[in-house]
Amino acid sequence: MAQKNPKDLILDIKDLVIHYETDDGTVEAVNGIDIQLEYGKTLGLVGETGSGKTTTALSVLRLVPDPPGVIKNGSIFLDGKDIMNLPQKELEAVRGHLASMIFQDPMTSLNPVFTVGDQISEVIALHENCSKKEADEKAGDMLEVVGIPRERFAEYPHQFSGGMKQRVVIAMALACNPKLLLADEPTTALDVTIQAQVLETMKGLREKFGSAMIMITHDLGIIAEVCDEVSVVYAGQIVEHGTLVDVFNHTRHPYTEGLFGSLPNIEIKRNRLSPIPGLMPDPTDLPKGCCFAPRCKYATPDCEKARPAKKWLSDTHYVRCSRYDEPNFKIEREDQ
C-alpha cells in the first residue's frame, strides 16, 4: 500500500467516524473514512444521497452541527493543523482562509440583505488585515475573475441568475486564496450550459491559485472532467478509491459497477439500464457486515459477517470488498 508523505498532504483524515444522535436513533453517517489529499490535487467524492459525503466535508471545517452530530473517532489534519483540537479562535482563522466551502444551493448560501460585493469583501476584511477600501477593491477584482463585471458590486443576490449567484459564491470562497476548496455539489442546481461555464471557471481558477479541491458530486461525468482521484462513498465508507483511470477504467467494487450501470451514457447506446436493486440501507440500522451486501449480486453469506477491510490492488487503488480475498474473483464490468 502506498503511504503518502505527510508533508505533501493538505488534508489527512484518518478513520473518521461521525454519528448523528437523534431521538429516533443513532444515524451512522460516516463510518471510518480516510482521505489523503496532496497539495494542488482534486479529489472527487461520489455517492448517493445520505452516503455521508457532505458530513465528511463539513467535518474538515468542524461545521458538523453539534448536537446532534458527534465525532466519535478519527483525526483531521489540515495543512498540518490538528482540526479536532483547535481552539475556536483559530478555527475561525482556518474557515474561509485556509479552506473554504462552496455549497450546493447558491440561492440559499448568499445573504439576501447584503450586496454581493459586501459579502465578498467581508471575507477579505476578516482574514486579511486590510482596510474596508482595500477589501472592496479586491472584492471587485474577484468578481471580474469569475466573469462578473465590477459594476455589479452593489447589486443584491436576487438581481442575479442562478449561475451568476454560484459565481459569486465561488468568488467568495476563493477570495482569500485558500489552500483547500470544498465544493459540495456546486453545479447541481444549474443548467448544463451554465454548469459547463462554472466548471470551466473553477478549473481555470484552481490552476491559477493552485488550490487543492474536494469535489462532492453524484455525477460521475463531472468527476471524469475535473478530478485527479476519486473516492466512491457508500453508507459512510469509501468502498473504492483510486486515480481516475483506476476507478473508471479498472473498476473493481460491485457498487461502483452498479453506479456505472445505472447511468445513461451518451457515448454508449444501451437498450436497458442495469440499476442496482433495492435501496440504501437505513443509516440508523446498518448491516453488521458489508453495507452493500444486501444489494450486491456477488454477495456470499460470508459478506454479511464482517465489514470488509481495505484491500490495496496497486499503489493508488483500493477496494473494500471481501470477495477479492478469493484469487479469481472478477466483476462483470470489463476494463475499459
Contact positions vs other proteins (CB under 8 A): 48-49, 161-164, 191-197, 199-200, 218-225, 244-245, 248-249, 258-267, 269-270, 272-277, 279-280, 336
Rounded least distance, CB 65 to other proteins, Å: 22
End-to-end CA distance of the chain: 24
Nearer to other proteins, 52 or 96 (CB): 52
Residue 303 Cβ vs other proteins, minimum distance, rounded to whole Å: 19
Q: How far apart are CA 42 and CA 109, in angstroms?
A: 23
| Between 51 and 121, CB nearer to other proteins | 51
Write down the least CB distance from residue 164 to other proteins, Å: 7
Nearer to other proteins, 7 or 334 (CB): 334
Q: Give the distance, in angstroms, between the CA of residue 245 and the centroid of all CA atoms in the same chain.
A: 19
Q: What angle do CA 306, 308, 310 make, to 5 degrees?
A: 150
Q: Which is nearer to other proteins, 258 or 308 (CB)?
A: 258
Residue 95 CB, shortest distance to other proteins, in Å, is: 29
State how far the Cα of 23 lies from the Cα of 252, in Å rounded to an integer.
38
**67, 7 contact by CB (below 8 A):** no
Distances (CA, A) of 19 to 31, 57, 182, 284: 8, 14, 21, 9
* Complex with other proteins: residue 273 or 306, whichever CB lies closer: 273
Is residue 68 a contact partner of residue 20, using CB atoms and an 8 Å limit? yes
Find the shortest distance in angstroms from Cβ 174 to other proteins. 20
